Amino acid sequence: MTFLRTLLVALAALASAAALSPSHAQQAVIDQAKAQGIVGEMYTGYLGVADDGRATAEIRRFVEEVNSKRLALYTQLSREQNQPVATVAALTAEKLI
């Protein structure tokens, strides 16, 4: 199995883990913020605030929490796959975008 295929299989399995997922309330706020163009997926594999003027403190906090969970996931996968965290994050970004 190629590195990329192995990594994507591992990513899919871990990304679905409930412990790493945002709560339903967080997900609803993030989804709404994405629909309004306030938040978006970045090519780095993390969420980013696209409209500073409309991003509330709650939205910013949720983005930080999601990004923190993603970093933990990317770090775990990078260790398992012996790849840089940025590589794992970028591959995830391709799937998310």
What would the pLDDT profile of 34-75 be if each residue is shown by its tens digit?
999 999 999 999 999 999 999 999 999 999 999 999 999 999
* For the chain, percent of residues with pLDDT exceeding 90: 63
Sign of the dihedral through C-alpha 72, 77, 83, 87: negative
Residue 66, SS3?
helix
Residue 87 has pLDDT above 80, yes or no: yes
- Whole-angstrom Cα distance, residue 14 to residue 34? 23
Residue 96's pLDDT is: 81
